[in-house]
Structure 1
């Protein structure tokens, strides 16, 4: 997480581009693999991270372009959570790290959104890509969840794109760190690329390098001797003399 001034400046910049209504940023939730407590690798929504910086599930952010209010919604950890995870910060403490002074339990979000709807205010949101987010937006906006992508705010999309297209110094520093990790992964793959080695063996080592740096790959690694098949995620082949690995 960056210094809170970074997030304050980003939200102020967004306010300067948007002149009416409220922007709703729904953070991601955990996505179960086969039962609720066994989840896929965690990844926060990038736009929620950009404006609010909190890398935890079950949160939402709201920016009111008329009043200027900024609010983070989320539920504090319970005793049941703390038994498994140890002491945890409150939502208010987390929000303060991003320079946000207003927080409410998640249940309050529906009340505020419904009040805005009843007043005829415009509610801006970005196109959702997860089913859980579509369902949440559908419930909040009293709309069919399947229509959430087409109902997204073009003005907010253009505003966010204009901000995120210009990288800040702190972002460039993180990009350079990622480049160093990528270089290590690439050169490791080159050294391991020998006849008799399996794609899976190289793939596993590259995954390990990414996670050993506390990052993980940004997308599933594409590694195959069948490079003619784009986005090939099958790693069962054995490298052979004369074949090229992509």
Structure 2
């Protein structure tokens, strides 16, 4: 798969150009320990190489168009940190036409850049590498009378790469589908297990256990917000006790072999919605279902978002949380007190995936192969000026949707979201648990 993507990337490059794409570095967590390494998505998309401190050089017109600079083999360090591919592995296992130790990169940089009109490079991601490249170009300019010619244009690699990544191949869709299946299983398990008296972090631990046991990792920091914590959009403390009568908002997604899923569900931990909770929930649910139904090629991102604004504002008026003319409320953005984010985002290797949302100033239209989230929400903060019965209620419902030639396909339909469906699901889980507890008691009499 990676070689096909590399070939297509080279096909889209300008004549007499070279691309430098850097992998991620290890990041210090504290003192001499590091966060778990995750490769840069652009680099991994092109190379499949999953070690830190690597650089790919891509030059379509060169005798050896694809070169990797990697950490060399080091028996002592490998004893501590695990095996490295090394220069030989970069060629034999990862398909590089040539490979060198990463320490040779600066020494070969003039040779890499010489005579190229365009350098594809993403400035602002690796500041140390930025500085090395800028300094080398400046040095080469000073040698112009000796026939040393640096690139005269630097173009962001994202101009090509991010447009490629936006439209998913069949193999990429299969990986997102698997991530979605794992995520759906984890959400169902959380819905079964969550109880008043538990802490949010216990639910978070269960979700991430489900990810790990299926060979996945969290695609982002899980949000597990109970009660009024659900009104904080990116709540991540996950340390509060869950109380009787709380809604629990869970926004969590698995990453499987480099591809993410992203699901949000909101449900009553006691098993049944009370009236205000249900009223807010149904406004969000109906808006989400209507927006999903609109997803098809040719519909713009703004059209989807604007429809969510119309439906949620209409619902807020119906509930008495907003007063006035619907069109005036939308024009004045009065809804932003309760719905302050966009309807969704692209999904892929990054949970907030790459790709332009506006092209030539116009909202981008959906195309087959795009994967988007659809996630309207309403958040009535405890200190918000609003009807008392709705304060402290936060609801978001999110699904991952593939745009197809015929319309769309929801990849995350495996988690209940209808009111009756959720309540019945939780009720069955409680009955099953009670039955198991009785069976265990009868099998082990005192």
TM-score tier, shorter chain, comes to: 0.7 to 0.9
Matches within 5 A, 1:24-173: 24-36=20-32, 38-67=33-62, 69-85=65-81, 88-117=84-113, 119=115, 121-129=117-125, 133-142=126-135, 153-154=155-156, 156-173=157-174
Distance (Å, rounded) in 2 between the aligned partners of 1:153 and 1:189: 45
Helix, strand or coil at the partner of 2:129 = helix
Helix, strand or coil at the partner of 2:218 = coil
Give the aligned partner of residue 244 of structure 2. Answer: 241
| Structure-2 change in CA distance of 1:125 and 1:182 (3 Å) | same
Residue 191 of structure 1: how far off its partner (Å): 1.3
The structure in which a higher percent of residues are strand is 2
Distance (Å, rounded) in 2 between the aligned partners of 1:15 and 1:86: 33
Partners of 1:207 and 1:216 within 8 A in 2: yes
Partners of 1:24 and 1:125 within 8 A in 2: yes
Give the aligned partner of residue 232 of structure 2. Answer: 229
Partners of 1:113 and 1:141 within 8 A in 2: no
Helix, strand or coil at the partner of 2:68 = strand
| Structure-2 change in CA distance of 1:223 and 1:117 (3 Å) | same
Give the aligned partner of residue 212 of structure 2. Answer: 211
Residue 120 of structure 1: how far off its partner (Å): 6.2
| Structure-2 change in CA distance of 1:35 and 1:119 (3 Å) | farther
Question: Are 1:21 and 2:17 counterparts?
Answer: yes
Note the residue ranges of structure 1 that are not aligned, 5 or more in a row.
1-5, 144-150
Partners of 2:204 and 2:238 within 8 A in 1: yes
Residue 90 of structure 1: how far off its partner (Å): 2.8
Give me the TM-score of the superposition, normalised by structure 2. 0.48
| Structure-2 change in CA distance of 1:169 and 1:34 (3 Å) | same
Note the residue ranges of structure 2 that are not aligned, 5 or more in a row.
137-152, 250-446
Partners of 2:20 and 2:119 within 8 A in 1: yes
Partners of 1:22 and 1:63 within 8 A in 2: yes
Question: Are 1:179 and 2:180 counterparts?
Answer: yes
Give the aligned partner of residue 8 of structure 1. Answer: 3
Residue 59 of structure 1: how far off its partner (Å): 1.0
Helix, strand or coil at the partner of 2:204 = helix
Residue 128 of structure 1: how far off its partner (Å): 4.4
Distance (Å, rounded) in 1 between the aligned partners of 2:7 and 2:104: 24
Q: Deviations over 1:99-138 (max 9, x none)?
A: 2120011122212323445646432113544xxx221232
Give me the TM-score of the superposition, normalised by structure 1. 0.84
Helix, strand or coil at the partner of 2:191 = helix
The higher radius of gyration belongs to 2
Which stretch shows the higher mean deviation, 198-207 or 116-125?
A: 116-125
Distance (Å, rounded) in 2 between the aligned partners of 1:113 and 1:122: 14
| Structure-2 change in CA distance of 1:51 and 1:71 (3 Å) | same
Tell me the matched-pair count. 229
